[in-house]
């Protein structure tokens, strides 16, 4: 285990406790398959004793054929004064029929006496009895010492005695929890070293159903950090450097309160900076796409500025930075983005410089250099448009169409002859609704369509695509995934110009487009038109390449 780190992802348990995070049973099964594809060691998939949904999940999960990961059911030690075999929550963990169970017990004397309200000796007995019960039933036991670091600061002897008890009962892993997320890295290091002193030489009392990586001479110690002081990753790194070889967290960092250790950011640092192996060979390059996949399942936006895997992680806007990157890749990037499956992006703006513009435009015309007249024209056009409030750094689709226009390679695929949008607010209890109609022209023919929508933009989008589907049936695959409006200059109050940014997808690609106007519907229409044209042009070019 010297150079190997076990990864336990708790997105489906601790992550599901985060505000706004809800997983259906189907969602949970999809997350398990995504995490298994990434190659994590353990998936803490829920608490079967807490709700019927988790119990149903574990029943269905028994049929999953996982290649890399193993499932853990999560729960507490037995209740005060109750034998493990008589405790319904303990029994539910056994009934989950997972290879491993994660058992949490109190590691803080203060919590034992003031929150759990039991005698400290009884707390130790609860830990011992529960761990031994699951070992007797052939389970791999991961023991989470809840509030360990707070407990270690309050009463170190008692905190360490809880670990000794779990180890003596046969725990296969002991995990130190910064449950409140308030510890600093130096306190983490001190607590880990003390725990390792307890764990050194301790072996499970009964044979464990151990993973292939457990050929160590001592029980492996782990870390479970929360991010309430924005130190979860720093604390996890401190724990690893102090000797922990098991890390718990959630891939995207969501979880209780301020969240958990963001494994999507931590794993690349461990593998690429410290030379430790967290995932099977070749899996790290998939971490960006799997982070996006889990964000989609959880119905949350992945943080754009998330290190390594976020869309901004390798985005360059300043002209000096873009020029430096093109000359020396390491000048403004700490790793090659392809190592984590991410992409380098040059943001198009008035401060971006011609080097960045040329690099982006070369995707359409490889011969372009920063001295090319087209690049100079694009730079001038960008500055003029951004002075009017346009912004292309987050609108890759609109920027590509702009490049095509400057290259003379743009041919409109349709034209809007007219459109109208009406929003009604009837009296009484009737719900307000919007109606739109659009008349389009395509290759000498026209069509007209109407639609209702939840708001004027949704109605216009539906009417426009309904009118175009007769000519372009592939638009059936396209949908909007995000819609943002920004007032450009609030000094004009309600007469101010607005910028609309739309994100779209067809299930294979994601692209963004922009529109600007003093009329929010007009701005939205401009972004919608760009979005549709970007989709259609891309489809035509892919068919042409396939034909060749």
- Look at residue 135 and tell me whether its pLDDT is greater than 70: yes
Cα 359 from Cα 327, distance rounded (Å)? 12
Residue 176 has pLDDT above 50, yes or no: yes
State if pTM tops 0.95.
Answer: no
pLDDT at 350 over 70: no
pLDDT on residue 122: 97
Q: In this predicted structure, what is the pLDDT of residue 361?
A: 82
**Residue recorded with tokens 């949970």:** 28
User: What digits encode the pLDDT tens for the residues 268-309?
Assistant: 999 999 999 999 999 999 999 899 889 878 878 788 899 999
Query: How many angstroms separate the CA atoms of 137 and 265, rounded?
Result: 36
Structure letter (DSSP) for residue 465: H
Tokens of 173: 């892993």
Cβ count near 546 (within 10 Å):
7
Cα-based distances in Å from 317 to 148, 327, 401, 469: 44, 16, 20, 37
DSSP line for 152-187 = HHH-HHHHHHHHHHHHHTT-SEEEEEETTS---HHH
Of the spans 1-15, 152-166, 488-502, which averages the highest pLDDT? 152-166
Question: Which CATH class, in words, describes the domain spanning 6-298?
Answer: alpha beta
Q: Fold for domain 415-547?
A: Double Stranded RNA Binding Domain (3.30.160)
Residue 137 has pLDDT above 60, yes or no: yes
State the chain's mean pLDDT as an integer: 89
Taking 90 as the threshold, does the pLDDT of residue 114 lie above it? yes
Residue 209's pLDDT band, with cuts at 50, 70 and 90, is very low
pLDDT level of residue 214 (50, 70, 90 thresholds): very low
Position 222 pLDDT exceeds 50: yes
**Percentage of the chain with pLDDT > 90?**
64
Question: Which segments of the chain belong to CATH 3.20.20.70?
Answer: 6-298
**How does residue 319 score in pLDDT terms, banded at 50, 70 and 90?**
low
Q: What's the average model confidence in pLDDT over 369-385?
A: 85
**Which of 77-81, 100-104, 289-293, 469-473 has the weakest average pLDDT?**
289-293
Q: Is the pLDDT of residue 333 over 70?
A: yes
Among the ranges given (269-283, 384-398, 448-462), the one the predictor scored with the smallest mean pLDDT: 384-398
Instruction: Give the pLDDT confidence score for residue 133 in this predicted structure.
Output: 98
213 pLDDT higher than 60? no
The pLDDT of residue 494 = 63
More confident residue, 502 or 311: 502
Domain with CATH 3.30.160.270 in the chain: 415-547
pLDDT score at 352: 54
The 10s digit of each residue's pLDDT in 21-40 is 999 998 999 999 999 999 99
């Amino acid at each position: 285990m010297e150079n190997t780190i076990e990864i336990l992802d708790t997105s489906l348990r601790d992550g599901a406790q985060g505000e706004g995070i809800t997983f259906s049973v189907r969602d949970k099964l999809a997350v398990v398959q995504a995490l298994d594809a990434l190659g994590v060691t353990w998936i803490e998939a829920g608490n079967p004793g807490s709700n019927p949904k988790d119990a149903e999940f574990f029943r269905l999960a028994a049929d999953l054929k996982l290649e890399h990961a193993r499932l853990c059911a999560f729960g507490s030690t037995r209740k005060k004064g109750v034998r493990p075999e008589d405790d319904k929550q303990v029994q539910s963990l056994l009934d989950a029929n997972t290879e491993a169970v994660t058992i949490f017990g109190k590691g803080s004397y203060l919590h034992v006496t003031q929150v759990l309200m039991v005698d400290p000796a009884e707390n130790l007995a609860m830990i011992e009895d529960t761990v031994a019960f699951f070992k007797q039933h052939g389970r791999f036991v991961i023991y989470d010492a809840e509030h360990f670091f707070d407990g270690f600061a309050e009463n170190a002897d008692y905190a360490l005695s809880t670990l000794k008890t779990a180890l003596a009962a046969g725990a296969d892993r002991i995990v130190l929890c910064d449950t409140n997320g308030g510890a600093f890295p130096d306190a983490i290091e001190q607590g880990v070293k003390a725990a390792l002193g307890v764990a050194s030489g301790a072996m499970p009392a009964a044979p464990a159903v151990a993973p292939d990586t457990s050929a160590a001479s001592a029980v492996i110690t782990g870390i479970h950090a929360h991010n309430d002081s924005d130190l979860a990753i720093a604390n996890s790194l401190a724990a690893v450097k102090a000797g922990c070889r098991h890390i718990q967290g959630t891939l995207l960092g969501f979880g209780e309160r301020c969240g958990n250790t963001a494994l999507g950011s931590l794993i690349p640092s461990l593998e690429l900076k410290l030379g430790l192996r967290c995932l099977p060979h070749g899996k790290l390059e998939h971490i960006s796409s799997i982070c996006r996949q889990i964000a989609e399942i959880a119905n949350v936006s992945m943080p754009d500025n998330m290190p390594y895997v976020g869309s901004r992680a390798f985005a360059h806007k300043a002209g000096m930075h873009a020029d430096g990157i093109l000359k020396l890749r390491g000048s403004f990037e700490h790793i090659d983005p392809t190592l984590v499956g991410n992409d380098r992006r040059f943001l198009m703006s008035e401060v971006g410089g011609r080097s960045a513009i040329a690099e982006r435009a070369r995707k359409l015309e490889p011969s372009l250099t920063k001295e090319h007249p087209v690049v100079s024209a694009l730079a001038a056009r960008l500055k003029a448009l951004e002075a009017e409030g346009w912004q292309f750094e987050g609108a890759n689709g609109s920027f590509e169409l702009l490049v095509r226009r400057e290259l003379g390679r743009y041919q409109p695929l349709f034209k809007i002859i007219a459109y109208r949008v009406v929003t009604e607010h009837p009296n009484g209890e009737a719900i307000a609704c919007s109606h739109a109609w659009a008349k389009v022209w395509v290759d000498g023919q026209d069509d007209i369509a109407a639609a209702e929508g939840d708001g004027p933009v949704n109605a216009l989008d539906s009417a426009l695509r309904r009118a175009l589907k007769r000519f372009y049936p592939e638009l059936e695959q396209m949908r909007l995934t995000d819609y943002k409006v920004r007032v450009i200059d609030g000094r004009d109050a309600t007469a101010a110009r607005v910028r609309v940014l739309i994100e779209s997808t067809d299930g294979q690609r994601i692209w963004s487009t922009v529109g600007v106007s003093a009329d929010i519907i007009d701005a939205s229409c401009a972004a919608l038109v760009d979005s549709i044209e970007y989709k259609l042009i891309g489809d035509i070019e892919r068919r042409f390449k396939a034909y060749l």
